[in-house]
Amino acid sequence: MTIDTEILTPDAAGIERAAHLLRGGALVSFPTETVYGLGAHAGEDKAVARIFDAKGRPRFNPLIVHVADVAAARRLVEWSKMADILAGAFWPGPLTLVLPLRKGAPVSDLVTGGLSTLAVRMPDHSIAARLLQEADIPVAAPSANASGRLSPTTAGHVLDSLAGRIDAILDAGPCKLGLESTIVGLVDSPRLLRPGGLPAEVIEDALGAPLGTSGPGIEAPGQLGSHYAPRAGLRLNATTRRDGERLLGFGSVKGDLTLSAGGDLVEAAAQLFCHLHALDTMGDHTIAVAPIPEHGLGRAINDRLRRAAAPRMTPDQAE
């Protein structure tokens, strides 16, 4: 499906329009000092699902939430002394911090990919700052490129791969850095999860300690093995409910809960985590899952389901 992509100018009216669209659940590309982001309301499952749909991402990689200031970040994550030091030294700027997600934080499970941590960053770009202030919501944003394409540093790059798939783009010219943010995990000891626009040495100087590399306790980008998996076992491609099972439906397969009766994959993605959680809390039933077509967002849904269905390590969790 193709939609009209509005091209907005970075003046008061354009920023206000972009903020209005974001609050309403639309997809809006906006500039940052690193690369253009593809923003959506981080608290809205459907809006976040549309990010993955537009990018054609075959996996629900967790997303970075963009905030206007430290106070907004503190509402979402368990802030720490080290976070204070690094944000104090480098925010706004090309540094993303991964911290424990705060209980009850208004963030869709699709943003974290079901992880108990959240990546947050405050971009150093006057237009992004005004947009985030005006929108006054946490904005989830990956780089605004179709999956497998280079990160976009101009509005033209974004439109080359996403025109017709996103609601609007705020065009404020080329990005200053052209390199994604550096990602540091602060869940246990500080670790470099992705090198980027801010050199690791500079971060180590500010911390007065070396950065570890990714390891136990945190997941590096691209190594997302242990996402949320239900306690109950999963049986995939089920068209009927067997004894002792709960059925998660899709399309014509009607379940105890149904991802999308109309067969809409964006709606299905938006419902995936909350329905799995809900079925999981209904008891130790196996969760049977209706077939999900292997195209568009269906690929990411199936990827997640397959990994949730894979045998677990501990005997009490194993099938």
- What is the footprint of ligand TXA within residues 221-250 (CB under 6 A)? 221
Options 20-28, 41-49, 139-147, 251-259: segment touching Mg ion (CB under 5 A):
139-147
- Interaction between residue 63 and ligand TXA (CB under 6 A): yes
What gap in Å lies between CA 232 and CA 245, rounded to an integer? 10
Options 82-90, 107-115, 124-132, 142-150: segment touching Mg ion (CB under 5 A):
142-150
Nearer to Mg ion, 64 or 99 (CB): 64
Q: What is the 3-state secondary structure (H, E, C) of the chain?
A: CCCCCEEECCCHHHHHHHHHHHHCCCCEEECCCCCCEEEEECCCHHHHHHHHHHHCCCCCCCCEEECCCHHHHHCCECCCHHHHHHHHHHCCCCEEEEEEECCCCCCCHHHHCCCCEEEEECCCCHHHHHHHHHHCCCEECCECCCCCCCCCCCHHHHHHHHCCCCCEEECCCCCCCCCCCEEEECCCCCEEEECCCCCHHHHHHHHCCCCEECCCCCCCCCCCCCCCCCCCCEECCCCCCCCCEEEEEECCECCCEECCCCCCHHHHHHHHHHHHHHHHCCCCCEEEECCCCCCCHHHHHHHHHHHHHCCCCCCCCCC
Of these, 19, 183, 270, 272, which contacts ligand TXA (CB under 6 A)?
183
Of these, 56, 61, 69, 278, which contacts ligand TXA (CB under 6 A)?
61
Nearer to ligand TXA, 139 or 287 (CB): 139
User: How many chain residues bind Mg ion (CB under 5 A)?
Assistant: 1
- Interaction between residue 119 and ligand TXA (CB under 6 A): yes
Counting every residue written for the chain, the total comes to 319
Of these, 29, 153, 161, 181, which contacts ligand TXA (CB under 6 A)?
181
- Interaction between residue 35 and ligand TXA (CB under 6 A): yes
Options 6-14, 40-48, 140-148, 199-207: segment touching ligand TXA (CB under 6 A):
140-148
Options 33-41, 71-79, 159-167, 267-275: segment touching ligand TXA (CB under 6 A):
33-41
Nearer to ligand TXA, 96 or 286 (CB): 96
Of these, 98, 137, 162, 288, which contacts ligand TXA (CB under 6 A)?
98
Which stretches of the chain bind ligand TXA, using CB under 6 A? Answer: 32, 34-35, 37, 61-64, 96, 98, 112, 115, 117-119, 121, 141-143, 180-181, 183, 193, 219, 221
Q: Which residues lie near Mg ion (CB under 5 A)? A: 143
